[in-house]
Amino acid sequence: MPDKYQAALALRAYREVQIEMGLDPLPGKTFFPELSETLDGLIDMPADALLFGVAGDGLPLLLHLRDPRPGPVLVTGERGCGKTDFLKLLLIATQRLSAPSETRFVVLTAYPADFDNVCAPERLLGVWPTYEANSVDLLYQLACQVQNPDESQPLVLLFDGLDAILQMGPAARDDLAYILSNGPRALVWPVVTVNSELGLRLPDWLAYFRTRIYGRISNPHTAEALTPIPGAALNSLFPGSQFCLRQHSKWLKFWLPNLSA
C-alpha cells in the first residue's frame, strides 16, 4: 500500500476515534489521495464496474454491472453527508478509468447545477431536471430499454433525490417502479439518493432496494428506523466522505477519494 494511503488511513482512523469520543467532525475536505491516485492504484480493474470508494484496507469497493444480484442501489444519509458526491464519483471514475467500458450515465435531479462541473463527455448522456416534463419522458425511455435491453452497453441512472418522484405523476412513478424491479437484469442500473429524514416517509419505495449505502445520520431514531441491524454506528461516519454498507453479514466502512483534482 502506498505511504500516502497509509498516512491518510491513519489520519482518518484518528478522526474516527475523535468522533466516537463525542467530538463532532467538522464538515469539509479531508486529507486523502486524489481520485487519480486511487485509480492509478487499481490493478486489473474489471470492465463495466463502478467504483464506490476505498475500504479501510486500501482496497476498492466495486459494483459489477454484469451481475444483477445486488439490485438497485440506495444511498441515504442526512444533509451534507456526501450523497451527491457519491454519484459524481461513479461518473467521474468511470470516465477516467483506462479499462474498456461502454457504460453510460444519465442524471435525474432537482438541482442540475450540482453536476455542472462534472466533466465526463464520453459517459454522460445528459442531466434531466426532475421539475421539467422531459424527465418523465426519460423514465419512459429507460423503462422501454429495460424491456428491450442493449446487452453491449450498461446504462446507469443517477437519481439524486428519490422524493422528487412524488411530484412527477403516476406514469413516471410506474416507470421508475418497473426500472427498480427489473433494470439491473437488463443492464439498466438505478443508483438513487434520498435524504434520510425524507426516506422515512417513503417506505414503499425503499422496499425496492436490497443494496443500501449509508452516509452519516446523527439522529439515532432515524438511523435505527432505516437500518435496524445494530453495529452501523451511522453517527460516527465522517460527513462528506465516509459511508458504510452491509456486506457478508458485517458493516463495511469506506471513503470517497478526493474529487477536487
The per-residue pLDDT for range 60-98, each reduced to its tens digit, is 899 999 999 999 999 999 999 999 999 999 998 887 775
In a domain, 261, yes or no: no
* CATH, residue 147: 3.40.50.300
- Residue 111 and residue 108: Cα distance in Å, rounded? 9
- Report whether pLDDT(124) > 50: yes
Write down the pLDDT at residue 261: 53
For residue 222, CA distances in Å to 8, 167, 192, 216, 233 come to 30, 24, 19, 11, 12
Q: What is the pLDDT of residues 157-196, one digit of tens each?
A: 999 999 999 999 999 999 999 999 999 999 999 999 999 9
Mean pLDDT along residues 240-244: 94
Question: Between helices 134-147 and 170-182, what is the axis angle to 10°?
Answer: 30
Instruction: Compute CA distances 74 → 70, 71, 208, 225, whole Å.
Output: 11, 10, 9, 15
Q: Tell me the C-alpha distance between 85 and 139, whole Å.
A: 23
Q: Give the pLDDT confidence of 130-156 residue by residue, as tens digits.
A: 999 999 999 999 999 999 998 888 999
Return the SS3 of 53. strand
Neighbouring CB atoms inside 10 A of 119's CB total 12
Query: What integer pLDDT is reported at residue 37 of this predicted model?
Result: 66
Q: What is the pLDDT of residue 6?
A: 46
Sign for the pseudo-dihedral over CA of 74, 84, 40, 57: negative
Look-up: residue for cell 418522484?
A: 165
* Mean of the per-residue pLDDT values of the chain: 86
| Residue 12, pLDDT above cutoff 90 | no
Q: Helix or strand or coil: residue 195?
A: strand
Structural domain of residue 77, as residue ranges? Answer: 3-255
- Read off the pTM: 0.86
DSSP 41: T
Cα–Cα distance measured from residue 209 to residue 228, given in angstroms and rounded to the nearest whole number:
15
pLDDT at 248 over 50: yes
What share of the chain has pLDDT > 90, as a percent?
63
Residue 260 lies in a domain: no
Task: Judge whether 154 lies within some domain.
Answer: yes
Task: Please give the pLDDT value at position 121.
Answer: 73
> Which residues are bridge partners to 244 per DSSP?
214, 253
**Quick check: is 79 in a domain?**
yes
Looking at the structure of the chain, the number of domains it has is: 1
Strands 73-77 and 211-214: parallel
pLDDT in tens, 26-43: 444 444 566 666 666 666
199 in a domain, yes or no?
yes
Q: Are 179 and 146 in contact (CB under 8 A)?
A: yes
Averaged pLDDT, 47-64: 87
CA–chain centroid gap for 195, Å, is 13
Instruction: Write down the H helix ranges in 115-201.
Output: 134-147, 170-182, 196-199
pLDDT tops 80 at residue 57:
no
Q: Report the candidate in 197, 164, 229 with the shortest Cα–Cα distance to residue 77.
A: 197
